[in-house]
Structure 1
Amino acid sequence: METKKKLLDIVRDKIRFKHYSYSTERTYVHWIKQYIFFHNKKHPIEMAKREIEEYLTFLATKKRVCPATQNQAFNAILFLYKEILGIDTTEWNIQALRAQERKHIPVVLTKDEVQKILENMHGIYKLIVTLMYGCGLRMSEVLNIRLKDIDFGFNKLYIWDSKSLKDRTVPLPLKLKDELIVQIKRVEEIHKKDVADGLRGVYLPFAYAKKYPKAKIETKWQYLFPMNSISKDPRSKEKRRHHIHPQTLGRNIKVAAQKANLNKRVTSHIFRHSYATHLLQAGIDLRSIQELLGHKSVETTMIYTHIVSEMNKAKLISPLDF
């Protein structure tokens, strides 16, 4: 007799069917579980607009979560109703008390500050951060680069399935060309040993592994920045060599910023902000920067014009100094 699947297992299956990332899977499952627990484990099919509004309001007023966190929870619940329960929530017009959203101008580094941080980094982490700044990449984008994504012939880098779901290319920094060639050779040697040790290959996106079963052991599909150790895939449980962990990279960036004695809050994303700002300062037009960053709307890119405007204000002097 076939046992009936649990709700959260159905959610996981649907997320994987739609090719969402593992981090999205964990996030959605977490919030759906919290939503159900908040209402004393009542089944979602027995709940609707009022229960959703109560939970979102609770997150804003009692838990005091930030707007992004509340939106995460909201999106997870909407996914549950639309994709799992087959219920259209658009007519519900959900009016929960939303977490107060503040508009922040991104913090950026000067070119000298970027250089100071890089001087305090070494090895593969220095190369990763340099590439991240040199191409304006998100952390997830730089860590997911495969060997096949680098085109030395046309000096460009391919970015696939980014956050905006928009593929793009960016110019490859010529200063990094030799280092990247050395890194590729290093990856080739690592992969050669992995194959000899019997590893079943790298993780492949979407249904590519089923369509091309041999691709996962092809050299071109290996990550440019692999981990030193072998890890277990949380979904398939297969042992394979994944890319460097985001937390490890973030930790190295934090340590380098501390050594550089910078008072600014330095995260991986600050290099992307700095890239865009420095291009704008160099006279690159906004539309080109939008394409390089992979923004869907130019309005998102326009935040960097405000940054440059603030920098120009800093050059003004007080009437006392006339």
Structure 2
Amino acid sequence: MNWNERIKEFEDYLRLEKNFSKNTLDAYLRDINKVKKYVSENLPEATPENISYVQIQEYLFQNSKTKSSERSQARWLSSIKSFFKYLVAEEIREDNPTSLLEAPKLGLYLPDTLSEKNITKLINAVDRSSDLGERNYCIIEVLYGCGLRVSELIDLKISNINFKENYVSVYGKGDKMRFVPLADFTAKIILNYIKKIRINFKINKKSEDILFLNRRGNAMTRVMVFIIIKDLALKANIKKKISPHTFRHSFATHLLQNGADLRYIQEMLGHSSITTTEIYTHLQTEELRDVILNYHPRNKFTTKA
């Protein structure tokens, strides 16, 4: 079989058996299709069944010249390893040509966050004089108030929100559902948007239950949310490179700083492992270190040589 057929089988496996989310699935397929493109241009005789360890190693070496981050390189390798592990499991290959490949060593990844002051600055930068502005204001408050992923935000339905008990049903990675508590403050903003703003949109039938709509009455896209946040950061004069995920990181960090239990934060973020959530304890440690360096009197004390 050719690359296209094997990749299609792999796609079906990831979607149906592994229950990968669309975003993760797309990332894996992009990585494997890059291998296919390289092979078609440089190794026309290589197939999924006979490509060798040396050939894959050369592909990764050539790809590394693009100055991509170690994190990106690690993801490429993870995708490729998964593909060939699948081929071995399905008895399409007897050997796994990626078994000896080692991922680059990654340092601790500390996500960018915004201070409470900068969150306020960014929210204040929203021009609320129009319906779209009020929608954008609500989007930021929901991202920060609920710690949602951007994919969860754009898929959020009105029927997922329980205003009586103040919680949101969120469908995250792997279509797993979790319940996120809704602060009274955030709930009032959402209700105001639904009752006074959203009704002014010409809503398409297929999007009747979608909370956040574009000007044409359809569900918003990920790209649109990224653009809104980028524009707001410029207006607020925030130099940091921020994205929708920055609000999720800020949500978790600020909860931890104010005394929330890490396991509760894990539940609200929808992390399957507490290890993923523990990254925020490192953020807090970094902040504590800065406080000591800047304010501890002994750190300011210098001795004569």
TM-score when scaled to structure 2?
0.77
* Equivalent-residue separation in structure 2 for 1:159 and 1:265 (angstroms): 27
Structure 1 SS opposite 2:284: helix
Give yes or no for the alignment of 1:224 onto 2:227.
no
* Aligned partners of 1:109 and 1:270 also within 8 Å: yes
Corresponding residue number in structure 2 for 1:319: 298
Structure 2 SS opposite 1:45: coil
* Aligned partners of 2:157 and 2:210 also within 8 Å: yes
* Equivalent-residue separation in structure 1 for 2:4 and 2:241 (angstroms): 43
Give, in angstroms, the shift of residue 321 of structure 1.
Answer: 5.1
Give, in angstroms, the shift of residue 273 of structure 1.
Answer: 1.5
Give, in angstroms, the shift of residue 130 of structure 1.
Answer: 0.9
Where in structure 2 are the equivalents of 1:143-162 lying within 5 Å?
A: 143-160=154-171, 162=172
Give yes or no for the alignment of 1:44 onto 2:48.
yes
* Aligned partners of 1:32 and 1:76 also within 8 Å: yes
Corresponding residue number in structure 1 for 2:118: 113
Structure 2 SS opposite 1:276: helix
* Equivalent-residue separation in structure 1 for 2:22 and 2:198 (angstroms): 24
Give yes or no for the alignment of 1:283 onto 2:259.
yes
Q: 1:99 to 1:59 in 2, by over 3 A?
A: farther
Corresponding residue number in structure 1 for 2:177: 167
Give, in angstroms, the shift of residue 117 of structure 1.
Answer: 0.4
Corresponding residue number in structure 2 for 1:66: 69
- Equivalent position amino acid for 1:137 in 2: L
Corresponding residue number in structure 1 for 2:129: none
Structure 2 SS opposite 1:157: strand
Q: 1:44 to 1:304 in 2, by over 3 A?
A: same
Give, in angstroms, the shift of residue 119 of structure 1.
Answer: 0.5
Corresponding residue number in structure 1 for 2:109: 104
Q: Deviations over 1:201-228 (max 9, x none)?
A: 35xxxxxxxxxxxxxxxx4xx3211222
- Equivalent position amino acid for 1:281 in 2: Q
- Equivalent position amino acid for 1:163 in 2: K
Structure 2 SS opposite 1:159: strand
* Equivalent-residue separation in structure 1 for 2:281 and 2:12 (angstroms): 43
* Equivalent-residue separation in structure 2 for 1:285 and 1:53 (angstroms): 44
Give yes or no for the alignment of 1:55 onto 2:62.
no
Q: Deviations over 1:176-204 (max 9, x none)?
A: 3233224334556757x534xxxxx35xx
Structure 1 SS opposite 2:180: strand
TM-score when scaled to structure 1?
0.74
Give, in angstroms, the shift of residue 30 of structure 1.
Answer: 3.0
* Equivalent-residue separation in structure 1 for 2:15 and 2:111 (angstroms): 33
CA RMSD after TM alignment: 3.2
Which of these residues, 172, 179, 184, is aligned with residue 189 of structure 2?
Answer: 179
Name the stretch that deviates more: 300-309 or 84-93. 84-93
Q: 1:89 to 1:142 in 2, by over 3 A?
A: farther
Extract unaligned runs of 5+ from structure 2. 127-132
* Aligned partners of 2:233 and 2:242 also within 8 Å: yes
Q: 1:48 to 1:148 in 2, by over 3 A?
A: farther
* Aligned partners of 2:32 and 2:80 also within 8 Å: yes
Structure 2 SS opposite 1:46: coil
- Equivalent position amino acid for 2:50 in 1: E
* Equivalent-residue separation in structure 1 for 2:29 and 2:211 (angstroms): 30
Q: Deviations over 1:149-169 (max 9, x none)?
A: 101111001111x13654211
Give yes or no for the alignment of 1:266 onto 2:208.
no
Give, in angstroms, the shift of residue 290 of structure 1.
Answer: 1.5
* Aligned partners of 2:230 and 2:243 also within 8 Å: yes
* Equivalent-residue separation in structure 1 for 2:221 and 2:50 (angstroms): 40
- The count of residues paired between Structure 1 and Structure 2 equals 282
* Aligned partners of 1:138 and 1:268 also within 8 Å: yes
* Aligned partners of 1:253 and 1:268 also within 8 Å: yes
Give, in angstroms, the shift of residue 87 of structure 1.
Answer: 4.2
- Equivalent position amino acid for 2:166 in 1: N
Identity value in percent: 27
Name the stretch that deviates more: 251-260 or 32-41. 32-41
Q: 1:310 to 1:194 in 2, by over 3 A?
A: closer
- Equivalent position amino acid for 2:70 in 1: P
